[in-house]
A and B are shown apart, each in its own frame.
Chain A
Amino acid sequence: MLYDENQAAGTVRSLEETDFFHKQTRIVLRNCGVIDPQSIEEYIARDGYAALYKALTDMTPDSVIETILTSGLRGRGGAGFPTGLKWKFASGNRGKVQKYVCCNADEGDPGAFMDRSVLEGDPHSVVEAMAIAAYAIGASKGYVYVRAEYPVAVKHLGIAIQQAKERGLLGRHIFSTDFSFDLEIKLGAGAFVCGEETALMTSIEGKRGEPHPRPPFPAVKGLFESPTILNNVETYANICPIILNGTEWFAAIGSEKSKGTKVFALGGKIKNTGLVEVPMGTTLREKDIGGGIPKGKKFKAAQTGGPSGGCIPASLIDTPIDYDNLISIGTMMGSGGLIVMDEDTCMVDIAKFFLEFTVDESCGKCTPCRVGTKRLLELLNKITEGRGTMEDLERIEELAAFIKENSLCGLGQTAPNPVLSTLRYFRDEYVEHIVNNRCPAGVCKALLTYKIDPAKCKGCTACARACPAGAIIGSVKNPHKIDTEKCVKCGGCMEKCRFDAISRD
């Protein structure tokens, strides 16, 4: 816990001395908050571009791929596909066909911001890694697809590319070798679906950002119908340290099947919000570097994987977090957003929140996603408004399974996950909404009633003055009453009451 332990009389003066920092292993974030991201010199001073030099002068393209393959690095965008394998698939016919290297910086999961942080704080690490990837598969051109909502990231990346070109670290005959590589930024317009690989490449081509079926996979037929690799920002940020320090060093960090570290964006009901980088296989309990939950509330669950993921309930708090374990408990790594929820969070409401997001962001190309998610949301709305039936739960499960199986791309295939996961671990909460018309966490407005306890009410009129709907009746020094017909359930009265006379159920 960050500040509690360090209160020891102000002896701790720097971040490096805090527990928050000690428990981390910083590979991806090695330069973030340390160097000036607008200075290529400071990046070079921290061994920048040494990995590119080593790859170009000391390694064959195949040995670069072999190194990434044996390091065990898996894609940090969410699905966890082995990065080396992806490169290998795209490595045929070097020098004979046009190929592309792309970077997915279209970070769209609510609550995740590690890619932004890397691009803002250490943009050269992505530029250098993309050049190494291009050398490995035999590409000469690369694109970084970054969302326009990240102006600082776009600016810093643009400066980095410009500086690398001026210094000859991008362009023709890099380090006096035969290898040439050029890099360009493409701005995304904020569509969540453009984080999906086929939609992203379609968008770079200047077309409407919609996915298309795979196969053919991008490694065979990607951008402009050419073999293409697409990796996430965080994946690229791992490449240079692996090249420099070797596979054994990297493979020694993490769990058996998930090597290295993962950056998590801690958010929600937690004291220390922020970015932490910990070895794969760390448990949520160990992530206590988050400092615990404010106001002494109880941990209920953590949401991982954003709108494509699910939750980790309190009973599974000791699950080592890696790709495979998360899949087995019904969620996924996703990009690493970790939203902590306490007892005041309604799980039906959370499922609804994420589903509303996917309904908004569905591109509409395929029916299961376009119509299915909308229908699923309507069923959830029914439940949160007290109109649900037990049969609705079965309908939800049936529809969710159908959407997962039949959607065209990852967006639809994972959209029902938050619903299925909350239903799996918090079914009793759904049932409570349906059978007893009650929201145990006190979140779903339609199911709440506010009451004034006449024995506690002193008739101070504070609540009546705070009520925006004029729903509180009563005279001074006499117990007040709430007109439930008029009440808009804003909770304003409860906050104002100094006598704890107002309750909610």
Chain B
Amino acid sequence: MDEKGMIKSFDMLRAVKERTLPRLDPESGGKPRVVVGLATCGVAAGAQGVYDAISTELEKQGLNDVLLVRTGCIGICQFEPVVEVSLPHQSKTTYVRMTPEKAVRMVDQHLLGGNAIAEYTIGAKQ
């Protein structure tokens, strides 16, 4: 079955699922996944600028294997813009109240350097 073909049976549905699951779970796919909340609430808080900054920095650093994904609202309005980073063999990190500057630092230190920036995470003292 081709990538964008019609789904006419359960097997075809399952094939799409199995092909896509690694995207959602870096543990099985091996690729880092960066998710930016770009629902109305996120956009209002400036998430588009954060997304663009990450996108530019990824390109600049040549991190072509990082999957940068737009997502909806996760429900924590007062923490927007929210960015979640999942790396293989690491637990997920939720960055809150991100700015384009913080996002660039996150790409450099976390994605490139492998060290999460604790002070930007949801668990940090706000």
Indicate whether A398 reaches chain B with its CB closer than 8 angstroms.
no
By the criterion CB–CB under 8 Å, are B39 and A53 in contact?
Answer: no
| Pick from A33, A45, A50: contact of B75, CB under 8 Å | A33
Indicate whether B53 reaches chain A with its CB closer than 8 angstroms.
no
Closest chain-B Cβ to A259's Cβ sits at a distance in Å of 22
Within 8 A of A (CB), among B8-59: 8-10, 13, 16-17, 19-21, 23-24, 35, 37-41, 43
Indicate whether B125 reaches chain A with its CB closer than 8 angstroms.
yes
Contact stretch, chosen from A35-43, A89-97, A232-240, A446-454: A35-43
Closest chain-A Cβ to B101's Cβ sits at a distance in Å of 20
Q: Name the B residues within 8 Å of A13 (CB-CB).
A: 91-94, 116, 118, 121-123
Q: Name the B residues within 8 Å of A226 (CB-CB).
A: none
Tell me which of A12, A45, A53, A117 has the highest count of chain B C-beta atoms within 10 A of its own C-beta. Answer: A45
Indicate whether A169 reaches chain B with its CB closer than 8 angstroms.
yes
Indicate whether A272 reaches chain B with its CB closer than 8 angstroms.
yes
Closest chain-B Cβ to A501's Cβ sits at a distance in Å of 34
Q: Name the A residues within 8 Å of B5 (CB-CB).
A: 167
Indicate whether B112 reaches chain A with its CB closer than 8 angstroms.
no
Q: Name the A residues within 8 Å of B19 (CB-CB).
A: 41
Q: Name the A residues within 8 Å of B63 (CB-CB).
A: none
Query: In the complex, which range does the number of interface residues on chain A fall in?
Result: 35 or more
Closest chain-B Cβ to A264's Cβ sits at a distance in Å of 10
With A121-B72, A168-B7, A273-B77 known as contacts, the answer to whether A15 contacts B94 (CB < 8 A) is: yes
By the criterion CB–CB under 8 Å, are A35 and B71 in contact?
Answer: yes
| Pick from A10, A20, A57, A277: contact of B76, CB under 8 Å | A20
Q: Name the B residues within 8 Å of A274 (CB-CB).
A: 75-79
Q: Considering the chains assembled together, what is the distance between the CA atoms of A13 and B7 in angstroms?
A: 39
By the criterion CB–CB under 8 Å, are B94 and A121 in contact?
Answer: no
Indicate whether B64 reaches chain A with its CB closer than 8 angstroms.
no
By the criterion CB–CB under 8 Å, are A271 and B13 in contact?
Answer: no
Within 8 A of A (CB), among B76-108: 76-79, 82, 84, 91-94
Q: Considering the chains assembled together, what is the distance between the CA atoms of A63 and B60 in angstroms?
A: 56
By the criterion CB–CB under 8 Å, are A15 and B84 in contact?
Answer: yes
By the criterion CB–CB under 8 Å, are A33 and B7 in contact?
Answer: no
Indicate whether A152 reaches chain B with its CB closer than 8 angstroms.
yes
Indicate whether B69 reaches chain A with its CB closer than 8 angstroms.
yes
Q: Name the B residues within 8 Å of A168 (CB-CB).
A: 6-8
Chain B residue nearest to A41 (CB atoms) is B20
Query: In the complex, which range does the number of interface residues on chain B fall in?
Result: 35 or more
Chain A residue nearest to B16 (CB atoms) is A44
Q: Name the B residues within 8 Å of A12 (CB-CB).
A: 121-123
Within 8 A of B (CB), among A26-63: 29, 31-39, 41-42, 44-47, 49-50, 53, 57
By the criterion CB–CB under 8 Å, are B7 and A36 in contact?
Answer: no
Tell me which of A14, A16, A168 has the highest count of chain B C-beta atoms within 10 A of its own C-beta. Answer: A14
Q: Name the A residues within 8 Å of B116 (CB-CB).
A: 13
By the criterion CB–CB under 8 Å, are A10 and B71 in contact?
Answer: no
Q: Name the B residues within 8 Å of A39 (CB-CB).
A: 20
Closest chain-A Cβ to B31's Cβ sits at a distance in Å of 14
| Pick from B21, B35, B73: contact of A117, CB under 8 Å | B73
Q: Considering the chains assembled together, what is the distance between the CA atoms of A37 and B20 in angstroms?
A: 14
By the criterion CB–CB under 8 Å, are B94 and A10 in contact?
Answer: no
By the criterion CB–CB under 8 Å, are A120 and B7 in contact?
Answer: no
By the criterion CB–CB under 8 Å, are A152 and B125 in contact?
Answer: no
With A18-B122, A36-B69 known as contacts, the answer to whether A150 contacts B40 (CB < 8 A) is: yes
| Pick from B6, B76, B126: contact of A15, CB under 8 Å | B76
By the criterion CB–CB under 8 Å, are B124 and A10 in contact?
Answer: yes
By the criterion CB–CB under 8 Å, are B17 and A45 in contact?
Answer: yes
By the criterion CB–CB under 8 Å, are A10 and B73 in contact?
Answer: no
Chain B residue nearest to A149 (CB atoms) is B40
By the criterion CB–CB under 8 Å, are B21 and A45 in contact?
Answer: yes
Q: Name the B residues within 8 Å of A153 (CB-CB).
A: 40
Chain B residue nearest to A151 (CB atoms) is B40
Chain A residue nearest to B6 (CB atoms) is A168
Provide a sorted-by-A list of 8 A–B residue pairs whose CB atoms are within 8 angstroms.
Answer: A7-B125, A10-B125, A113-B41, A121-B72, A166-B6, A167-B6, A167-B7, A168-B8
Name the 4 nearest CB pairs between A and B, nearest first. Answer: A121-B72, A33-B74, A12-B123, A275-B75
Q: A13-B123, A33-B84, A276-B75 are in contact. List 11 more A-B contacts (CB 8 A).
A: A10-B118, A12-B123, A14-B84, A45-B20, A50-B10, A116-B40, A168-B6, A176-B8, A271-B78, A274-B77, A274-B79
